[in-house]
A and B are shown apart, each in its own frame.
Chain A
Amino acid sequence: MKLHLKIWRQPGKDHPGKLEMYDLDGLNPDMSFLEMMDVLNDRLTREGKEPVAFEHDCREGICGSCAMAINGEPHGPNDGATTCQVYLRSFKDGETLTVEPWRARAFPVLKDLVTDRSAFDRIMQAGGFISVNTGQAPDANAMPIGKETAEQAFDAAHCIGCGACVAACRNGSAMLFVAAKVSHLGLLPQGQPERKQRVRRMVEAMDAAGFGNCSNQYACEAVCPKEISADLIARMNRDYALSLVPKL
């Protein structure tokens, strides 16, 4: 099959960028989107041109590296899938696809499709952990957790930190990401001792990184490859307010 690609090319962080046109022919519809990018880069390298910089790692939908917007859609047109899980059969033969990096002030473009997502790391460092003494792994099921709670925590823990929520949000807000991380630990007994300071510190780190604020339009939920629910944002809002209530 044939595809026309308009790809964002930007040589470096403070350089201007622009969309460049590439035509690819003879593509296999069962190729993944990233395999198509490999084909393109292979051709560019052979032509002595600079290949397109893009991030990728596991290529099975669990690492969250393959950040790119296809036709303005973070991770492309499929529901609940990352870019690496998008196959060319999802597109029409001869279609024109615009491929751009995540767009948000907190995720500056480093090169082509690669953005600096270290703001997420700073949020995690602020409170996305539990403090435990190291040693042997505890026995499985030593701490009983209700089925419902375990499921809810697991749903939140699905977040792979890819940043699609920020990329889709018209305000560049990271509230779905932060809500997922706050909820996943806040729902479990291991997360209770640091629950209040966690939500406060993570929200403060989120604000400091220059993300926007949720205006309740739920684009994040619609594009999330792990289908994290925006209801978790409500939970975070509640948790945050409760964290400010003085202990009686």
Chain B
Amino acid sequence: MSANPQFPGFLRTSIGRKWVVAVSGLFLIGFVIIHMAGNLQMFAATPDVINRYAYFLKTNPLMLWGFRLALLTAVAAHIWAALSLARENRAAKPVNYAVAGRKSRLHVTLASVTMVISGTVILGFVIFHLLHFTAQVVDRSYQEMETVLDGKAVHDVHRMVVAGFSKPLISAFYILAMGLLFFHLRHGAASVFQTIGIRDRTLSRVIESGSWALAAILFLGFSSIPVAVLLGVWKL
């Protein structure tokens, strides 16, 4: 890249930063899809399935931390680029019309104008979620939950999740955050394609409905677990 004198300037331009938001967003979408697929192992016939998966992740620290580092970089880049663009956008429109036009708002969805708000709440949620289930400091008793898997004592993730979601307020917060993720991705996933230049008249319909469907599947997939716990599918 250093061979290209244009490259550093790229990050200062409008389109350059839009690419940063899109590419980091695409990576994060990929992550949430994998995360959801991992979570859905809760519904497997035995708790061993998700416990084995968690054990596999924990015992491959190079892969785990490499992925965590990539995620952290993507999150930081996503927030930095999006906020710097949003700041400029506010400055570029200092005065609004006395009367709001109808045509100008035709395609402006609630989701698209609340990206910073939904993004901020999701960030807050992610921090709580990490303290809750990853660092396990919200309720330290999770650290002691163990089960026996193939003759070894391993962390009982299944039990921790059931215990975590048995508190209705925490479950409600998780479901609310997933609702906001649905909103964020409804606009965000479709926008990725526009920003990286894959969109035309015929594709746009597929992109719009595909993004909506993806956002909805993620919402339902993630929310199904706290809902199942609250409905008493698993007993502690």
Point out residues on A near B: beta carbons under 8 Å.
6, 19, 69, 71-74, 77, 79, 98, 100, 103-106, 168-173, 175, 200, 203-204, 206-207, 210-219, 221-223, 229-231, 233-241, 243-246
Contact = CB atoms under 8 A, between A and B. Distances in A.
Contacts of A105: 91-94
Contacts of A238: 196-198
Nearest to A216: B191
A172 B18 contact: no
Contacts of A241: 15, 19, 196-197
B6 A244 contact: yes
B14 A213 contact: yes
A246 B1 CA distance: 8
Nearest to A220: B104
B3 interface: yes
14 contacts: A100-B98, A103-B96, A173-B14, A213-B18, A214-B18, A215-B115, A216-B195, A219-B105, A223-B101, A233-B194, A234-B194, A237-B195, A238-B197, A239-B197
B201 interface: yes
Contacts of B195: 216, 234, 237
B7 A231 contact: no
A246 B3 contact: yes
A219 B103 contact: yes
A111 to B, nearest CB: 16
A72 B193 CA distance: 30
B12 to A, nearest CB: 8
Of B4, B10, B89, B101, the most chain A CB neighbours within 10 A belong to B101
A106 B190 CA distance: 28
Nearest to A209: B92
Contacts of A203: 13-15
B14 A206 contact: yes
Contacts of A74: 101, 104
Given A207-B13, A219-B106, A234 B199 contact: yes
A245 B96 CA distance: 39
A73 B204 CA distance: 25
B101 A72 contact: yes
Interface string B96-116: 111111111111110011010
B99 A234 contact: no
B116 to A, nearest CB: 10
A159 to B, nearest CB: 18
B104 A72 contact: yes
Report the contact-size class of chain B (Cβ under 8 Å from the partner). 35 or more
Nearest to B107: A218
Nearest to B9: A204
A132 B101 CA distance: 43
B85 interface: yes
A171 B201 CA distance: 24
Contacts of A100: 97-98
Contacts of B95: 103
Contacts of B193: 234
A223 B104 contact: yes
Contacts of B15: 203, 236-237, 240-241
Nearest to B192: A216
Given A98-B98, A244-B10, A168 B104 contact: yes
B194 to A, nearest CB: 5
A215 B112 contact: yes
A212 B88 contact: yes
Given A72-B98, A246-B4, A103 B93 contact: yes
B191 A6 contact: no
A172 B89 contact: yes
B97 A72 contact: yes
Contacts of A169: 93
A105 B96 CA distance: 11
